[in-house]
Structure 1
Amino acid sequence: MKYYFFALALFTNLFFFISCKDNPTQTSPVENNPPAGLTASENELIIELNKFIKPLNGTLPSLDDSDLRVFDKFAEAKVIGLGEATHGTKDFFQMKHRLFKYFVEKHGFKIFGFEADMGECIYIDRFIASDIGTIDEVMRKMHFWTWRTQEVKELILWMNQYNKSKSPQDKIHLLGVDCQFKDFNKILIMEYLQRYDGSYPPRIGQILTEIDQLSNTHIQALTSAENILLKARCDSIKTYFDDNSSRLIASSGQFEFTIIRQLIRQTQQYIDVISSKTFNYRDQYMAENSEWLTDLLAPNTKVVLWAHNGHLAKDPAYLGSGSQGSFLSENLSTQYKVIGFSFNQGTFRAVGYIPPSTYTGLTVQGIYEIPPKDSFNFIFYFSQPKNFILINNDVTRNSPLYSWINSNKKILSIGAVYSSNYYDSFFYTYNLGRIFDAVIHINTTLAADPY
C-alpha cells in the first residue's frame, strides 16, 4: 500500500474496545501491577469495569463460541462494523475472522465488506464463491500491504471452503467498499461486455480507456467542469447498462450484472476521492457502497464490515466530513452496530514515520508503556480479565462507569504508520459510548504475519 494513502490514517480517530481472556500464546513484557498512586475514583472505575465486562475466550476462529453470544443482540442489524486499533495486528484480524464466522453460522450474515478496492475484491470473491483462480493469485491482487497477511489468507480460505457445500443462494461473499483505485475497472467491465454483450457500443471502451490512462496527478489537476464531464461519461455507461438490463441479466445473471454496474459507479467515486483536496468523499462513498451491499443478494442482505476503528466509528467530525460509520448510522439508525477494538501493549506491523513526512519502511513495531492516566486505556490496563468484551448498553446509568465511557477521553489509535518517539501523539480524544456499540479489548497483541 502506498504510504500516502495511510498518512491520513495517522491523524484519524481510531478507538473503541472489546475484551477477552488472555491468549496463552501471548505474554506481556510489563507486569500489570497497579502503580503507586491510583486514586479512589480510578480504583472505583476498575471495580465497575470488571462488573460489566465479559471474558474473551481468545481470538482463534476455531475456539468455542460461547463467549460470543453476547453479540446475539446485534443479530437484527443490517450492518455490523468490525474495527481495528491498528492496521497490522494479528489478534484483531483473527478476531474479526472469528466474529464473521459466528455471524454467518448463527445469524445468516452473507457478505464481508472490506476496506479494500472494489475491483480487486471481485477477483477474491470469484475464488471464494466459484473457485476461479488460486489463493496466491488473488492475494497478489491486493493493493494494501495491510491485508496481505496470513490471517486474511486464512479467512479467504475458510470462506472458500464454507461455500463448497452451499447452493448459490447460500454462499457467502467478500466484496470491497473502498474507492481509491481504478486498476481493474476497465478490465472487468470490458470483460463482462465482451462475454455477455456482442453489440455494446465502442464508445464504452473509449471512455474506459481514457479514464484508465489518467494518473492521479492528472485527475487532481482537472477543473471542476472537466471533473463533471468525466463523471457524466461514466453515467452514460451506467445508462447503457440500465437500458439493456433485462438482456444483460438474462445472459450473466443478476449478481454479476449488479457487481459490474456498481464498479462503474465506483469509477466515479474514485474520481471524486482523488480530485478532492478538502472533502472526505472516501468515507461517504464507503458508506454508500456498504449500504449497496445490503440489497445485493436480496433485500436486507446482512453485511459485516472490516475497516479501521476510525472509519467505522459513528463520528460525524471524522476528517471534517464524517466517518463511514457516521453516514451508516444516520441512514440505518439502530440497524447499524459497530464493534471497536482496543489494545495497550505488544507488537504490530506499521510503516515507520518521522514527522512531518518521512516514512522509513514497513516493520514490526512495539509498545510496552503503561498507558497515560487520562486515557481509556489506563483503566482497561487493570481490568480482570485482561482481554474482554464490553457491551456499552449493558452499563447501567447509575454506575460511575456509565459517565466515564460517555465522556471524552484519549484512546490509543494507530493506522498504518507509527513512530515510537511520538507515542503520546497516537492517542485521540473520543466519546466511546457515542461512537461504538461494543468494545473488544486485547491487552497485549502480536503483529500480523505477512503473506
Structure 2
Amino acid sequence: MKNFASSSFPLLLLIMVSSLACSKAENEVKPTLQETIEQNLKIELNATLHPLSTTDPSLPLNDLDFLGNLGNAKIVGMGEATHGTQEFFQMKHRIFKYLVEKQGFRYLAFEYDLGGCMALNELIQSGQGDIKAWMSQQMYFWTWRTEEVLQLFLWMQDYNRNKPDAEKVHLVGVDCQFTSQSVPQLVNLLSRYDNNFASEVSNKLSSLVKAELYKGENFNSIQQARNGVLPQINEVGRALDERAASISQLTSPAYYQQIRRVYETIVQAEIIQYSQIINAETSFNFREKYMAENLDWIFSQYGNVKVALWAHNEHVAKNDQFVSFGTKSLGGNIQAKYGTAYQVIGFSMGSGDFKAYNLTNNRLETMRLDAPLANSFNDQFTQVDEPRYGVKLADLQKRYFWNGRLSSSRPFLSIGAVFNAQQVENYFYTIRLDQLYDVIFHFDNTNPSQVF
C-alpha cells in the first residue's frame, strides 16, 4: 500500500496541475472581433503617423518634412475643424511657412473678402503700417481677429523685407460676403487712375458701404431695396467696361484686372446677401462657386504660381455635398478643375477648448468639447500614443485595417463660428474621410484662439 501511494503521487500531481491550467484557460476573456480590429487600427496608425514636435511657428520645421510631396501641388488647402482653435491656426502658420521656405509657395488665399485682403496685403508688401491696428479697426470677423492670425501676417510682412518682388509672399482674399470693404478698395484703386471718376463711383456706391445690404420683414420691401441697389452696381460696371482700354493704358492691364475683380466681388456679395434672405441653400452654392472663381483669378493674374488656401475644413474639403447641402464646396469646385494638383489638409481634435459664438446665450465665449463622438474618426485618432501628429491618408490606405476603415463613412467633427454645447452630436458629420482630405493633422487636446 505504501509503495502504491508513492508511485501514484507524481501522476496525481500532474492531473491537479492540468486541471488548474484548464480552469484558468476557461476563465480567460478572449477579445471580441471588434476589440481586435480596434487594437490593430491603433497599431497601424501608430506605425504610420508623424509626431509633431511643436505648434510654435518660430521653431524649426523639420517635423513637417513628411509633407514634401505637397510641393508637386498647385494648390494646398489648409482647413480647421473649428474657427476658434489656437493649435489649428498656429499649425497652419507653420505649414504655410514650410510651403514658402521649402516648396516655393508665394501666395496665401484667405477666407476673407478680396477687397479687404487687398488693402491688408499692401501693408504686407510695403513693410509699413500697423497690421494689428488694421485688423482691430477693419476686420469684421472675430474668427480671424486673433493673435495667431496676426502672427502669421506679421511673419509675412517681415519675410518680405529686403526681398525682390519675385520672392515676396502675397495675401489674396477669395471670399465675397460683404461690400463694406470692397467698395472703398475699388475707389482707392480708381483714384490712382482718375480722382474724378473715383469720386463718381464712390457717390454711386456709397449706400453699399455697410455690413448688410438688405433688411426687411417681407419680400416686397427687400425687392424694393434691391431695385435701388442693382442699377447703381450695373452702372459702375458699364463705366468700367467703357474705360477698360484707358485704365489699362495709363496703369497696366494687370492693374485694370485688379479693379475689375474687386468690382466682381461687389456683384458677388450682392447676390449672396440677397440669396441668404430669399433662399439660404442657394446662397451656399453661390458663395462656394464664387470663392473658387476668385481663387482661380489668382492664376490668371499672377501666372503659374503655387497657392496655399486658408479656410474651414468644410470649405477646403473636396466635397460635392457642402454641409449637407446639395452643392459643391470651394474645394469641390477646385478639384473639379485641378484634379490631383489640389491637395487638402484637414484638421481633427479629440477634446478641449475653443472660441465660438454660444448659441444658448448669444455670446462669444470659450467653449469646450469634453470628448469626441463614439466611433467617430476623431475618436479613433485619439486612441494612439501621440497627442498631436500628422498622417497622410494614402499611407494609411496601405494598412490592412485602415484601408477598410477609410472605405466606410463615419462621423467627423466640424464646428464653425457658432456652437451649441447641448447638441454636440449635430457637429459630427458622416463622411468618407479619404475622399475629402489627403492629410490629417490631429490634436488630442486644444486651447482657444486669442481674440482681440
For 1:183, which of 180, 185, 200 is the aligned residue? 180
Go from structure 1 to structure 2 and tell me whether the alpha carbon gap of 1:248 and 1:320 turns closer, same or farther (over 3 Å shift): farther
Aligned residue number for residue 19 of structure 2: none
CA–CA distance in structure 2, aligned partners of residues 215 and 135 of structure 1: 25
Tell me the alpha carbon deviations over residues 110-154 of structure 1, each in whole angstroms, 9 at most, x when there is no partner: 111111122221221111101343123321211100111111111
Counterpart Cα distance in 2 of 1:439 and 1:232: 44
Residues 344-355 of structure 1 correspond to what in structure 2 (within 5 A)?
Answer: 344-354=350-360
SS at match of 2:133: helix
Report how far residue 224 of structure 1 moved. Answer: 12
Distance 1:57 1:237, change over 3 A: farther
The one-letter code matched in structure 2 to 1:351 is Y
- State the one-letter code of the partner of 1:138: W
Q: Can you list the C-alpha shifts for 1:148-171, whole angstroms capped at 9, x where unaligned?
A: 111111111111111012112221
Which range moved further: 425-434 or 211-220? Answer: 211-220
Deviations 1:289-315 (A, max 9, x none): 111123333x12211111100111011
- The 1:394–1:231 alpha-carbon spacing in structure 2 relative to 1, beyond 3 Å, is farther
Look up the equivalent residue of 1:270 and give its one-letter code.
A
Amino acid at match of 2:422: N
Counterpart pick for 1:334 among 327, 340, 350: 340
Moved over 6 A (4+): none
**Larger deviation: 325-334 or 416-425?**
416-425
Q: Which amino acid aligns with 2:146?
A: T
Contact 1:83–1:309 (CA under 8 A) maintained in structure 2: yes
The reply to whether residue 56 of structure 1 matches residue 52 of structure 2 is: yes
**SS in structure 1 opposite 2:162?**
coil
**Residue 295 of structure 1, aligned match among 300, 316, 320:** 300
Distance 1:132 1:65 in 2: 28
| Structure 2: gaps of 5 or more residues | 1-30
1:339: how far off? 0.3
State the partner residue of 1:374: 375
Residue type at the aligned position of 2:62: S
RMSD: 2.5
| Residues 393 and 437 in structure 1, CA contact (< 8 A), matched pair in contact too | yes
Residue 223 of structure 2 is matched in structure 1 by 222
2:359 aligned counterpart, secondary structure: strand
Over 3 Å counting, the alpha-carbon distance change for 1:262 and 1:377 in structure 2 is same
TM-score by length of 1: 0.84
What's the TM-score, normalizing by structure 2?
A: 0.84
Q: What CA deviation, in whole Å up to 9, does each residue of 1:80-120 have, x standing for no partner?
A: 11000000000000001101111111111111111112222
- In 1: Cα distance, 2:212 partner to 2:61 partner: 47
Deviation for aligned residue 1:204 = 3.7
Please point out which of 182, 189, 194 is paired with 2:191: 194
Shift of 1:234: 4.7
Aligned to 1:42: 38
Whichever residue aligns with residue 302 of structure 1, its letter is K
Hey, what does 1:360 align to over in structure 2?
A: 362
CA distance in 1, matches of 2:310, 2:443: 18
Q: Which of 78, 81, 99 is equivalent to 1:82? A: 78
Give 2:320's aligned amino acid. P
Task: Note the C-alpha offset of 1:403.
Answer: 2.3
Alignment of 1:294-443 (within 5 A): 294-297=299-302, 299-318=303-322, 319-354=325-360, 359-369=361-371, 371-397=372-398, 399-443=400-444
Q: CA deviation at 1:390?
A: 1.2
Match of residue 235 from structure 2:
233
Match for residue 152 of structure 2 among 155, 162, 180:
155
Higher relative contact order (Cα pairs below 8 Å, separated by 6+ residues): 1
Equivalent residues of 2:113, 2:182 under 8 A apart = no
Structure 1 unaligned residues grouped into runs of 5+: 1-35
The CA deviation at 1:241 is 4.9
The residue type paired with residue 260 of structure 1 is I
Q: Which residue of 2 aligns with 1:111?
A: 107
Q: Deviations over 1:205-240 (max 9, x none)?
A: 454235447952269823899587566435314413
The amino acid of 1:313's aligned partner reads A
- Identify if the C-alpha distance between structure 1 residues 214 and 307 changes in structure 2 by more than 3 Å, giving closer, same or farther: closer
Check conservation: 1:83, 1:341, Cα contact below 8 A: yes
1:55-94 Cα distance to aligned partner (Å, 9 max, x none): 1122111222222111111112111110000000000000
Per the alignment, residue 17 of structure 1 pairs with none
SS in 2 for 1:63: coil
Equivalent residue letter for 2:423: Y
* C-alpha contact 2:214 2:225 (8 A) present in aligned 1: no
Q: 1:169 to 1:224 in 2, by over 3 A?
A: same
1:25 corresponding residue in structure 2? none
CA, structure 1 residues 45+224, in 2 after alignment: closer, same or farther (shift >3 Å)?
farther
Give the Cα separation in 1 of the matches to 2:358 and 2:211.
30
Show the counterpart of 1:260.
259
1:288–1:223 CA distance, 2 compared to 1 (3 A) = farther
Task: Decide whether the 8 Å contact of 2:175 with 2:291 is kept in 1.
Answer: yes
- The alpha-carbon deviation at position 188 of structure 1 amounts to 1.9
Match of 1:272 in 2: 271
- Count how many residue pairs are aligned between Structure 1 and Structure 2: 407
Label 1:179 to 1:46 Cα distance change in 2 as closer, same or farther (>3 A): same
Provide closer, same or farther for how the CA distance between residues 50 and 201 of structure 1 changes in structure 2, counting only shifts above 3 A. closer
Q: Output the amino acid matched with 2:390.
A: I
Look up the SS of the partner of 2:300 in the other structure: coil
Q: Distance in 1 between matches of 2:145 and 2:198?
A: 38
2:248 maps to which of 236, 246, 249? 246
SS at match of 2:348: strand
DSSP 3-state at the match of 1:146: coil
Q: Is this contact kept in 2: 1:57–1:63, CA < 8 A? A: no
TM superposition shift of 1:189: 1.8
Report what 2:17 is aligned to: none
Identity of aligned pairs, percent?
34
* Partner AA of 1:153 in structure 2: L
Change (3 A) 1:84 1:305: same
* 1:329 maps to amino acid: Q
8 Å CA contact 1:114–1:176 kept in 2: the answer is yes
How many angstroms does 1:43 deviate by? 1.4
User: In structure 1, how many angstroms separate the alpha carbons of the residues matched to 2:288 and 2:443?
Assistant: 27
SS at match of 1:316: coil
